[in-house]
Amino acid sequence: MPILLYCFDFDGTLVDKDHTPSFELTLAAQLDEASREGAAWVINTGRSLHHTLEGVRGHGIPQPPDFIIAREHEIYARDAFGRWVDVGVWNGDARRQHDTFYRHHRRVLDDIRQFVETEELGWWIEEAGDPAGVITHTEAGMARVIEFVHDHLEHWPELGYQRNTIYLRFTHRSFDKGTALRELSRHLGISPADVFAAGDNFNDLSMLRRDLAHHLVAPVNSLPEVKSQVLAEGGFVSPLSASRAMAEAVTRLRRES
């Protein structure tokens, strides 16, 4: 059965900043061929939409994807004029829920900020679209932040977060890469059997599940936790890194389909 949606994390999965070239052009040719056969592809990333498009250009990816999931939950598609537009009502609902979430969770977010700053674990960040997050000095510091957050979940069940090594942003618990991938699949009318998903870091774990995608891949540069989950879900861990691993995985899957 042909794959109808290819879903890639960006940094560390689709591109490798420490390798030259950072993007494997063989993968672009494979995705072009899949597109001619009716498939689509999506970048599912913690980057903003603007930052993602900058990355596509900066890393020499010849063709932008059909869809972008930005900030781990905002779903965009290219329209007939090449503009990036919301997919359905999902983004509007997410914006409204997050506005309410940040207002209602101000007290616990302030408690977390005070803990981070008092313990000198790192910096609190507030940016447009991301009003609450943390950058720690070390991964051990981030582990302490997460432990502190988990101590509050009983009383704040909507409190969620997306973590990538020493970076963390707080979000409504209902929105992550996995729920966004499920919504995009629903929008396209496809099942998990039609979906390929690949990632390398903590914030990818929510989409690297067989109930969302039957074809799961992790490159060799993935965190141990990611490799373990992909293997447990019956997926493939490549001995190659980033987009070279993706090209290898796509070749394997297309040969088997």
Are residue 112 and residue 136 in the same domain, yes or no? yes
Are residue 222 and residue 158 in the same domain, yes or no? no
Reported as a single tens digit per residue, the pLDDT across 218-238 is: 999 999 999 999 999 999 999
197: β partners: 7, 216
User: Distance from CA of residue 78 to its chain's centroid?
Assistant: 19
Structural domains of the chain, count: 2
In this prediction, residue 56 has a pLDDT band, given cuts at 50, 70 and 90, of very high
Report in angstroms the alpha-carbon separations of 207 from 23, 36, 45, 133, 192.
Answer: 22, 26, 11, 21, 11
Residue 224 lies in a domain: yes
Residue 144 lies in a domain: yes
Threshold 0.85, pTM exceeds: yes
In whole angstroms, give the CA distance from residue 26 to residue 243. 9
Q: If you average pLDDT over residues 158-182, what whole number do you get?
A: 95
Are residue 160 and residue 206 in the same domain, yes or no? no
In this prediction, residue 253 has a pLDDT band, given cuts at 50, 70 and 90, of confident
Whether residue 237 contacts residue 231, with contact meaning beta carbons closer than 8 Å, is answered with yes
- Domain residue limits at 27: 5-73+176-256
Residue 86 lies in a domain: no
49 Cβ contact partners less than 8 Å away, ≥ 6 residues apart: 68, 70, 74, 76, 84
Whether residue 214 contacts residue 236, with contact meaning beta carbons closer than 8 Å, is answered with no
Q: Any idea which residue has 């390398």 for tokens?
A: 200
User: Distance from CA of residue 98 to its chain's centroid?
Assistant: 18
Q: What pLDDT, on a 0 to 100 scale, did the predictor assign at position 256?
A: 76
Q: Torsions phi, psi of 77, nearest 5? A: -130, 155
In this prediction, residue 257 has a pLDDT band, given cuts at 50, 70 and 90, of low
Residue 239 lies in a domain: yes
Q: What pLDDT, on a 0 to 100 scale, did the predictor assign at position 97?
A: 94
Q: If you average pLDDT over residues 46-50, what whole number do you get?
A: 94
Residue 41 lies in a domain: yes
In whole angstroms, give the CA distance from residue 26 to residue 55. 18
Q: In this structure, how many other beta carbons lie within 10 angstroms of the beta carbon of residue 225?
A: 12
* Amino acid at residue number 80: A
Whether residue 149 contacts residue 133, with contact meaning beta carbons closer than 8 Å, is answered with no
Q: What pLDDT, on a 0 to 100 scale, did the predictor assign at position 37?
A: 92
Are residue 198 and residue 231 in the same domain, yes or no? yes
Are residue 165 and residue 189 in the same domain, yes or no? no
Reported as a single tens digit per residue, the pLDDT across 186-207 is: 999 999 999 999 999 999 999 9
Q: What pLDDT, on a 0 to 100 scale, did the predictor assign at position 222?
A: 97
In whole angstroms, give the CA distance from residue 203 to residue 201. 6
Are residue 102 and residue 166 in the same domain, yes or no? yes
Q: What is the mean pLDDT of the chain?
A: 95
Are residue 44 and residue 69 in the same domain, yes or no? yes
Q: Any idea which residue has 């790192």 for tokens?
A: 122
Tokens standing for residue 97: 């829920």
* CATH code, domain carrying 214: 3.40.50.1000
Residue 81 lies in a domain: no
Q: If you average pLDDT over residues 87-100, what whole number do you get?
A: 95
Residue 208 lies in a domain: yes
Are residue 208 and residue 242 in the same domain, yes or no? yes
Q: What is the percent of the chain where pLDDT is above 70?
A: 99
- Tell which residue, 47, 35, 38, 39, has the closest CA to residue 9: 47
Q: Over 80: is that where the pLDDT of 2 sits?
A: no
Q: Any idea which residue has 């940040």 for tokens?
A: 102
Among the candidates 138, 172, 206, a domain finishes at 172
5-8 sheet: strands from edge to edge:
84-86, 74-78, 67-70, 40-44, 5-8, 195-198, 215-218, 236-237
Q: Where are the alpha helices (DSSP H) in 37-105?
A: 49-58, 90-104
Q: Over 80: is that where the pLDDT of 181 sits?
A: yes
- Residue 225, CB half-sphere, CA atoms under 13 Å: how many? 9
